């Protein structure tokens, strides 16, 4: 395997935020901007641990996603990675990525590079993002992201291997450098759905959604949430495809802003008559939900009303032990971000649970989860989740 050393010069603005590095798409596309950042990630990891390792590289399907995957695969090969998993069509939701890193092949993955700018718009004129998740499936902590930034300021070269083409649209294994490097194109819903089935009672959910007095609509906002909605709500639970709207992923999210709130999920808000409760008709669904660009956020609506994210996490926590098999033995604790309202505090007090307030950033919930102190958590910015993975999880919140 011939490793090529490509000379480069640093960019001074590659400091990751709480959810990785986000910039305009054109910035990532210019010069060596993306290769520099990816090499800086690999330079921040122990070379002996990277050698022969398996990592996930996939994204939310926004513009430049597929090109970036191919570039990252070449740099991964140049840095000794042995196997890259990537979702069919280059797609993988952020919560599913966490599940794949933690669960697939008994958790052999060393980490993952997730290509997403979450709820930000996509397209040539809009946003792109890259973040690194560690072997626990959660976003890298500041000690590592700080190291990545330091490496990026002094980078002089990146390593790559020229790889033959491979088909992102076909599930299968591509042995691109025999015995040295391969790409496995996987079903990005498989491991995630298997995990959800250990959490929820799917047969009971199947029975519930067939009730004549229940109806729902799910808005994928043309993000990666769409394929997960089809697989879970239609194929697994048996709901008709008519319950889905905007569930075909598009590189520019259909020209919209894939942020599930009352402003940007206007199609769903109109269907649910949230702003016009006096206009409710017989066909108005009982339940509505939406996911964002990478499917880690959620919005929950009732017929004619909006459930705030701060209330949603409190409702889930209050009923989890009684209604979700995963929590049948009780909750370890609950947590919310600092800007999130105190509804969860009231639940914790009444139930005798430990309650933790954290800074903004899902990684802080992950610390508590890894310490065995936290079961359910949420934030006011439409993120809710539990310790089944180390990311917020939009579909989990809907279920």
Beta strands in 236-363 (DSSP E): 244-245, 287-291, 298-302, 305-307, 334-337, 355-358
Instruction: Provide the β-strand partners of residue 177.
Output: 181
Pairing between β-strand 21-24 and β-strand 127-133 as defined by DSSP bridges: antiparallel
Rounded to an integer, what distance in angstroms lies between the CA atom of residue 137 and that of residue 369? 12
Single out the residue of 215, 242, 378, 228 nearest to residue 308, CA to CA: 378
Rounded to an integer, what distance in angstroms lies between the CA atom of residue 263 and that of residue 324? 31
State the catalytic residues: 118
Dig out the tokens for 263 from the structure: 């402003």
Question: SS3 breakdown of the chain: % helix, strand, coil, rounded to 5?
Answer: 35, 20, 40
Dig out the tokens for 99 from the structure: 């599940």
Dig out the tokens for 107 from the structure: 């958790």
Full 3-state SS string of 249-261? CCCCHHHCCCCCC
| φ and ψ at residue 3, rounded to 5 degrees | -90, 125
Instruction: Provide the β-strand partners of residue 55.
Output: 84, 111
User: By the 8 A CB rule, do 24 and 126 touch?
Assistant: yes
Sign of CA dihedral 56, 253, 21, 364: negative
Rounded to an integer, what distance in angstroms lies between the CA atom of residue 286 and that of residue 211? 11
Rounded to an integer, what distance in angstroms lies between the CA atom of residue 386 and that of residue 95? 11
Four-CA torsion 387, 315, 331, 384, nearest 10 degrees: 10
Which residues have CB under 8 Å from 224's CB, separation 6+? Answer: 59, 60, 61, 91, 92, 93, 249, 293, 294, 295
Place of tokens 């990026």: 152
């Amino acid at each position: 395997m011939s490793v090529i050393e490509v000379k480069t010069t640093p960019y001074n603005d590659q400091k990751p935020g709480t959810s990785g590095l986000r910039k305009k798409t054109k910035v990532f596309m210019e010069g060596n901007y993306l290769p520099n950042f990816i090499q800086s990630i690999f330079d921040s990891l122990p070379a002996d641990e990277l050698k022969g390792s398996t990592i996930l590289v996939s994204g939310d399907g926004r513009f430049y996603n597929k090109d970036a995957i191919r570039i990252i695969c070449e740099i991964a090969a140049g840095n000794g990675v042995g196997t890259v998993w990537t979702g069919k069509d280059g797609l993988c939701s952020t919560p599913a990525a966490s599940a794949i890193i933690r669960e697939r092949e008994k958790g052999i993955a060393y980490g993952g590079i997730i290509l997403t700018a979450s709820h930000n718009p996509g397209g040539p004129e809009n946003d792109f993002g890259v973040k690194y998740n560690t072997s626990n499936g959660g976003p890298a902590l500041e000690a590592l992201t700080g190291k990545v930034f330091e490496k990026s300021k002094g980078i002089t070269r990146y390593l790559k291997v020229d790889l033959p083409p491979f088909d992102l649209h076909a599930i299968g294994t591509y042995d691109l450098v025999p015995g040295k490097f391969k790409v496995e194109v996987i079903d990005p819903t498989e491991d995630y759905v298997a995990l959800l089935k250990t959490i929820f009672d799917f047969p009971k959910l199947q029975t519930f959604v067939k009730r004549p007095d229940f109806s729902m609509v799910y808005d994928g906002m043309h993000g990666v949430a769409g394929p997960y909605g089809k697989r879970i709500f239609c194929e697994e639970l048996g709901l008709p495809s008519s319950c889905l709207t905007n569930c075909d992923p598009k590189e520019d999210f259909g020209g919209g802003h894939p942020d599930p709130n009352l402003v940007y999920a206007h199609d769903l808000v109109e269907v649910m008559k949230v702003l016009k409760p006096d206009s409710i008709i017989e066909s108005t669904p009982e339940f509505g939900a939406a996911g964002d660009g990478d499917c880690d956020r959620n919005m929950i609506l009732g017929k004619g009303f909006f459930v705030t994210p701060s209330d949603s996490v409190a409702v889930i926590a209050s009923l989890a032990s009684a209604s979700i098999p995963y929590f049948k033995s009780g909750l370890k604790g609950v947590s919310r971000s600092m800007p999130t309202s105190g509804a969860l505090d009231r639940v914790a007090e009444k139930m005798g649970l430990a309650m933790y307030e954290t800074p903004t950033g899902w990684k802080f919930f992950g610390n508590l989860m890894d310490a065995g102190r936290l079961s359910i958590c949420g934030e006011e910015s439409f993120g809710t989740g539990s310790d089944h993975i180390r990311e917020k999880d939009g579909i989990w919140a809907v279920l």
